[in-house]
């Protein structure tokens, strides 16, 4: 992630303390190593524990697949991390399971569509789990979001047509069959379960779960967009459009988004399911002025209720939320808390906090993998965001990181992006366009003297508000910088001080 930098032949090697904290950089690459160690495109999808267990024992939950955050978070970093092929393990698993998912939808919901239980075996058959949680509605919809991310980051139209849209259609079909018109004329979901929250009521079931309404919106909007991209028609598009017009709004109160229409978020909890519209779906966006007040209240309330019932994945998810809601320092703090307090010396996540710090009521009762991958995804979100057709370079980098470099992170639109930050300012950005098309970029550059170049010479661009827009050809690469930088910098690995290598692990003096 970090790179040693040379600009105009002059070496720039700032102290590592002024770059990424060495713990987070080390953690990022260890998580990438774990991902590569535990999954391959042609191998089984990575379950709760992967190939690791404690002392050779059967792992908790028999090492099954949990589809209400664990599996999804595990694969969050493959998109910006430019490891799209790793997702094939999940897509192949779901594609093979679809006949069974249709049977389960008919047996359980008595409706057409496809339904994925909370906890399953490798063939998507339900496994034993706590009764209420097993029947959450949103598992397949959340997996469908990963199909959609693969399309957005790859721009593979064949994948979109043959694999992504068919799964999304069946996931939303089950939802739409449950919607009912209320006295207000709007469509409501009369029952649902928001993972895994019941608050003080201890009632897990109720109407209009925010997460379910968000998934319905995401699926309908994305299905319509996908068919527009393919210039294809679908007889069900009228229903998707009508659903979007009439779907009930997210339930909200004075503290922002509620969990359900009958349940505010009023206690700490490990699962931020009511904030799913913010992340990972990014339907509610910080850069939308009309939505910012709702987002602000929701985030403040989440912070206010605190970390008493959080586990490691709560901090990783929280860092992603913070990075997307104008809170880079909170994102940094949560990642440090995770790296220093919620993992063991070998970087494995054991649910609760380590070293007796009492940050959570949860104990260290089980190894699961998703939190570390979520932390890696949060680091990516701080460096580069690309939703809504806009590349945001160093989108949520805190002042504590005045110097940073990344190379070949992937963005939506099939762009590969590299960038250099020095003394708190972006110095240079390079974009490689794999399929062509317009590329909208937002940086902290002063665009009044911005210069852009490609292999053929000066690169033209236009301004749209605080973004610059480039028309790109397939395979084209260009770079941009404020006037004065005449050639792109050379990037090479950082060489840290020996005592800062191998941050994790038990040290010779046995101190942690």
Tokens, residue 365: 């009762």
Range from 52-61, 138-147, 254-263 carrying the lowest mean pLDDT: 52-61
Q: For 280-293, what is the mean pLDDT?
A: 93
What pLDDT, in 10s, does the model give residues 414-470? 999 999 988 889 989 999 999 999 999 999 987 778 889 998 888 999 999 889 999
Are 328 and 425 part of one and the same domain? Answer: no
- Identify the top-confidence range among 19-28, 190-199, 290-299: 290-299
What pLDDT is attached to residue 422? 85
| Confidence label for 19 from pLDDT (cuts 50, 70 and 90) | very low
3-state SS class at 391: strand
| Whole-number pLDDT of residue 499 | 63
Considering the domain boundaries, does residue 50 fall inside one? yes
- pLDDT for the residue 16: 33
Characterise 301 by phi-psi region: left (phi > 0), alpha (psi -120 to 50), beta (else): alpha
In this prediction, residues 247-272 reach a mean pLDDT of: 96
Tell whether 378 and 451 lie within a shared domain: no
pLDDT at res. 288? 86
Is the domain of 244 the same as that of 336?
Answer: yes
In a domain, 268, yes or no: yes
> 442 is in which domain, residue-wise?
4-10+401-492
pLDDT in tens, 361-404: 888 888 889 999 999 999 999 999 999 999 999 999 999 888 88
Residue 497 placed within a domain:
no
pLDDT digits 0-9 by tens, 358-370: 888 888 888 889 9
We report the CATH number of the domain holding residue 435 as 2.60.40.1180
Model pLDDT, residue 7: 35
> What pLDDT band is residue 294 in, cutting at 50, 70 and 90?
very high
CA distance 431 to 446: 18
CA atoms within 13 A on the CB side of 174: 28
| Domain end among 392, 421, 445 | 392
**Residue 4, pLDDT score:** 34
Last residue of a domain, one of 392, 412, 438: 392
Q: What is the pLDDT of residues 350-359, one digit of tens each?
A: 888 887 778 8
> 360 and 322 in one domain?
yes
Same domain for 477 and 363: no
**Residue 500: band (very low, low, confident or very high) from pLDDT cuts 50, 70, 90:** low
Q: Are residues 316 and 338 in the same domain?
A: yes
User: What total number of domains does the chain contain?
Assistant: 2
Rounded to an integer, the average pLDDT of 96-125 is 94
- Verify that 207 and 341 share a domain, yes or no: yes
DSSP per-residue codes, 330-385: HHHHHHHHHHHHSB-TT--B-SS-STT--S-S--S---BSHHHHHHHHHHHHHHEE
Percent of the chain with pLDDT over 90: 68
When comparing pLDDT for 482 and 19, which is higher? 482
CATH of residue 331 = 1.50.10.10
Percent above pLDDT 70 for the chain? 91
In a domain, 511, yes or no: no
Q: Is the pLDDT of residue 14 over 70?
A: no
Distance CA 158, CA 167 (A): 14
Q: What pLDDT, on the 0 to 100 scale, is given for residue 106?
A: 94
Residues 103-118, mean pLDDT to the nearest whole number: 93
Question: pLDDT class for 86, splitting at 50, 70, 90?
Answer: very high
Higher pLDDT, 238 or 3: 238
Q: What is the mean pLDDT of residues 57-74?
A: 87
pTM attached to this predicted model: 0.92
Residue 447 domain-assigned (yes or no): yes
468 SS3 class? strand
The answer to whether residue 499 sits within a structural domain is no
Q: Which two tokens stand for residue 383?
A: 């460096």
Instruction: Report phi then psi at 183, rounded to 5.
Output: -60, -25
pLDDT of 122 above 70: yes
- Residue 13 confidence class, pLDDT cut points 50, 70, 90: very low
User: Distance (Å, rounded) from C-alpha 41 to C-alpha 90?
Assistant: 8
User: Is residue 351 located within the same domain as residue 412?
Assistant: no
Q: Residue 12 — very low, low, confident or very high, per pLDDT cuts 50/70/90?
A: very low
**Residues 232, 183: one domain?**
yes
More confident: 109 or 251: 251
44 or 8, higher pLDDT: 44
pLDDT of residue 508 exceeding 70, the answer is: no
Structure confidence at residue 509 (pLDDT): 59
Residue 139 belongs to a domain: yes
Same-domain pairing of 42 and 62 = yes
Give the end of a domain, one of 342, 374, 392. Answer: 392
Same domain, 487 and 345: no
pLDDT band, residue 497 (cuts 50/70/90): low
Residue 495's pLDDT band, with cuts at 50, 70 and 90, is: low
**Nearest residue to 71 (alpha-carbon basis) of 85, 50, 97, 96:** 50
pLDDT, average across residues 163-185: 96
Q: Are residues 164 and 312 in the same domain?
A: yes
For range 282-302, the mean pLDDT? 94
Query: What is the residue-averaged pLDDT of the chain?
Result: 89
């Amino acid at each position: 992630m970090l790179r040693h930098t040379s600009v105009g032949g002059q070496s720039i090697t700032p102290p590592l303390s002024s770059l990424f904290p060495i713990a987070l950089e080390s953690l990022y690459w260890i998580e990438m190593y774990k991902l590569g160690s535990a999954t391959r495109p042609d191998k089984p999808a990575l379950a709760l524990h992967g190939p690791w267990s404690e002392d050779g024992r059967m792992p908790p939950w028999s090492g099954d697949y949990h589809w209400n955050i664990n599996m999804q978070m595990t694969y969050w970093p493959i998109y910006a991390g430019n490891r799209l092929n790793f997702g094939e393990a999940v897509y192949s698993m779901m594609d093979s399971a679809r006949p069974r998912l249709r049977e389960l939808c008919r047996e359980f919901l008595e409706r057409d569509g496809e339904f994925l239980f909370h906890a399953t075996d490798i063939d998507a058959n339900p496994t034993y789990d706590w009764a209420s949680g097993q029947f959450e509605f949103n598992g397949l919809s959340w997996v469908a979001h990963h199909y959609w991310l693969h399309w957005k980051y790859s721009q593979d139209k064949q994948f979109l047509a043959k694999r992504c849209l068919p799964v999304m259609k069946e996931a939303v079909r089950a939802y739409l069959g449950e919607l009912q018109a209320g006295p207000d004329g709007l469509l409501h979901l009369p029952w649902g379960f928001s993972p895994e929250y019941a608050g003080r009521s201890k009632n897990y079931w109720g109407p209009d779960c925010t997460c379910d309404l968000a998934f319905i919106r995401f699926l309908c909007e994305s299905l319509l967009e996908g068919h527009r991209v393919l210039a294809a028609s679908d007889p069900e598009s009228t229903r998707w459009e009508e659903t979007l017009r009439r779907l009930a709004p997210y339930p909200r109160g004075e503290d922002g988004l509620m969990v359900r229409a009958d349940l505010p978020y009023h206690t700490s909890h490990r699962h931020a399911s009511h904030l799913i519209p913010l992340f990972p779906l990014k339907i509610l966006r910080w850069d939308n002025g009309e939505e910012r007040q709702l987002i602000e209240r929701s985030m403040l309330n989440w912070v206010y209720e605190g970390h008493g019932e959080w586990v490691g994945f709560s901090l990783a998810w929280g860092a992603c939320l913070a990075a997307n809601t104008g809170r880079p320092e909170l994102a940094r703090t949560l990642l440090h808390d995770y790296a220093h307090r919620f993992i063991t010396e070998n970087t494995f996540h054991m649910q609760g906090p380590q070293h007796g710090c009492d940050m959570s009521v949860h104990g260290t009762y089980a190894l699961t993998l998703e939190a570390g991958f979520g932390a890696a995804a949060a680091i990516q979100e701080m460096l580069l965001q690309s939703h809504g057709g806009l590349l945001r370079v160093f989108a949520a980098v805190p002042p504590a990181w005045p110097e940073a470099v990344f190379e070949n992170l992937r963005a939506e639109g099939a762009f590969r992006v590299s960038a250099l930050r020095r003394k708190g300012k972006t110095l240079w950005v390079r974009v490689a366009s794999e399929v062509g098309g317009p590329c909208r970029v937002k940086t902290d550059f002063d665009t009044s003297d911005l210069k852009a170049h490609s292999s053929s010479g000066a690169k033209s661009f236009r301004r749209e508000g605080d973004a610059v827009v480039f028309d790109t050809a397939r395979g084209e690469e260009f770079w941009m910088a404020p006037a004065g930088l005449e050639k792109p910098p050379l990037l090479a690995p950082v060489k840290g001080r020996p005592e800062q290598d191998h941050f994790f692990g038990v040290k010779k003096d046995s101190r942690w």
